[in-house]
Amino acid sequence: MQPETTDRQLLQLLDKYLKGDCTEKERQQLESWYETFESGLSEEAPAGLPALYDSMVLQLQAEQEWVVPAKKWRGWWKAAAAVLLLIAGSLLVWILRPSGMKEVSTLAGDHRQVTLPDGTQVWLNVSSSLKYSGGMKNGRREVYLDGEGYFDVAGSSRYPFIIHTKEITVKVLGTRFNLKTYTGEPLETTLMEGKVAVSLNRRPEKSLQLSPQHKLILTRKSGAAQATGEDWGDFIAAVQPVEREGETETLWQKERMEFYDKSFSELAIIMERWYGKTIILKDASLNSNRFKGTFRREDINRALKALQLTADFNYKIKGDTVIIYK
């Protein structure tokens, strides 16, 4: 394999390899490239790789009509392992998601509701996007979410509804739930009614079936100084009962932003999405303040003045940037 070969080219070659469609020269290319990693891999499949590969195959079969050949070349899983190592940190099905999908998105401060071809209704929170196939009514009920969305899934005992995100996959048959997957924040799945199963993309064995009126919170270990729960690899997993029948998690649908026990930095992230501004905290000591409250479409000036009633700080707004200082 030539050094200038890109990750995407390797993925495309792996796709052909596993389908059995590549030429003899391409097969030798990929296997030769793999050999450069041979010393770093054991003779047996690394822990969790078979489950990850099986999950990958199921997703690609559903999305691309991929029929896995009955006869695989020797060392097929090694090639899969090498490419998976190459793109560590990325979800293969996310990278190879089908082209020609429809997309619905929202900007900062925006909300949007859409009805999918199968009858499922989705409400998107601010700074979010949803991709789906126009042909999903034929049985392929799979979508891709980035950000936060509330789902009222049309029931189907035959075809499950699957939501792919960059870190987790949620599988349902018919239910109402909220899914929050903003980058850099804990991942939250809040179930109102029905059943959902949540699993990690990179460790499918880490899976949990959620009961109604409960939510699963996945906090990255890198930012989980106070988080407690089950060890899910890169995450700490905790299940909590939902208060007020999930009203707090879904107030955004009513154009309301509610926050509880948030530091200034945490609140700034929420306000950035809500108002479409960049918020800079000039003094780290301001994080000693904790905030609780609800905003109802107030402009950012009124919101900051309200916060000043409980915290001692000043601010100035320059275009799309808000500077907070003491």
pLDDT (tens digit, 9 = 90+) per residue, 75-94?
A: 555 455 545 444 433 344 44
Structurally, the chain folds into a number of domains equal to 3
Q: Specify whether 66 is located in the same domain as 158.
A: no
Q: Specify whether 190 is located in the same domain as 304.
A: no
pLDDT of residue 89: 35
Residue at a domain's end among 45, 61, 95: 95
Contacts 24+ apart (CB under 8 A), 178-183: 178/148, 178/149, 178/150, 178/151, 178/246, 178/249, 178/250, 179/145, 179/148, 179/149, 179/150, 179/151, 180/125, 180/148, 180/249, 181/145, 181/146, 181/147, 181/148, 182/127, 182/147, 182/148, 182/273
- Which residue range forms the structural domain that includes residue 296? 256-325
Distances, alpha carbon 5 to alpha carbons 9, 10, 183, in Å: 6, 7, 29
pLDDT of residue 39: 45
Q: What percent of the chain has pLDDT over 90?
A: 35
pLDDT of residue 41: 46
In a domain, 1, yes or no: no
**pLDDT averaged over every residue in the chain:** 77
Whole-angstrom distance, CA of residue 273 vs CA of residue 281: 16
State pTM to two decimals. Answer: 0.67
Q: Specify whether 125 is located in the same domain as 235.
A: yes
User: 39-43, 155-159, 213-217 — which is least confidently predicted?
Assistant: 39-43
Quick one: pLDDT band at residue 46, thresholds 50, 70, 90?
very low
pLDDT of residue 108: 86
pLDDT tens digit sequence for 209-251: 999 999 999 998 876 566 788 999 889 999 999 876 656 778 8
More confident of the two residues 120 and 136: 120
pLDDT of residue 156: 81
Please answer whether residues 236 and 229 qualify as being in contact, where contact means their C-beta atoms are separated by less than 8 angstroms. yes
Q: Is the pLDDT of residue 19 over 60?
A: no
Q: Is the pLDDT of residue 128 over 80?
A: yes
Residue at a domain's end among 80, 95, 110: 95
Q: Is the pLDDT of residue 17 over 70?
A: no
Residue at a domain's end among 249, 267, 295: 249
Q: Specify whether 221 is located in the same domain as 315.
A: no
More confident of the two residues 4 and 98: 98
User: Residue 263 has which token pair?
Assistant: 């530091």
**DSSP-assigned beta bridge partners for residue 281:** 324
Please answer whether residues 31 and 75 qualify as being in contact, where contact means their C-beta atoms are separated by less than 8 angstroms. yes
Whole-angstrom distance, CA of residue 184 vs CA of residue 190: 18
Q: Specify whether 115 is located in the same domain as 217.
A: yes
Q: Within 10 A of 78 (CB to CB), how many other CB atoms are there?
A: 19
In a domain, 2, yes or no: no
Task: Report the 3 state secondary structure along the chain.
Answer: CCCCCCHHHHHHHHHHHHHCCCCHHHHHHHHHHHHCCHHHCCCCCCCCHHHHHHHHHHHHHHHHCCCCCCCCCCCHHHHHHHHHHHCCCCCHHHHCCCCCCEEEECCCCCCEEEECCCCCEEEECCCCEEEECCCHHHCCCEEEEECEEEEECCCCCCCCEEEECCCEEEEECCCEEEEECCCCCCEEEEEEECCEEEEECCCCCCEEEECCCEEEEEEEHHHCCCCCCEEECCEEEEEEECHHHHHHHHHHHHCCEEEEEECHHHHHHHHHHHHCCEEEECCHHHHHCCEEEEECCCCHHHHHHHHCCCCCCEEEEECCEEEEEC
In a domain, 14, yes or no: yes
Please answer whether residues 235 and 227 qualify as being in contact, where contact means their C-beta atoms are separated by less than 8 angstroms. no
Whole-angstrom distance, CA of residue 258 vs CA of residue 83: 43
Whole-angstrom distance, CA of residue 11 vs CA of residue 7: 6
Q: Specify whether 121 is located in the same domain as 185.
A: yes
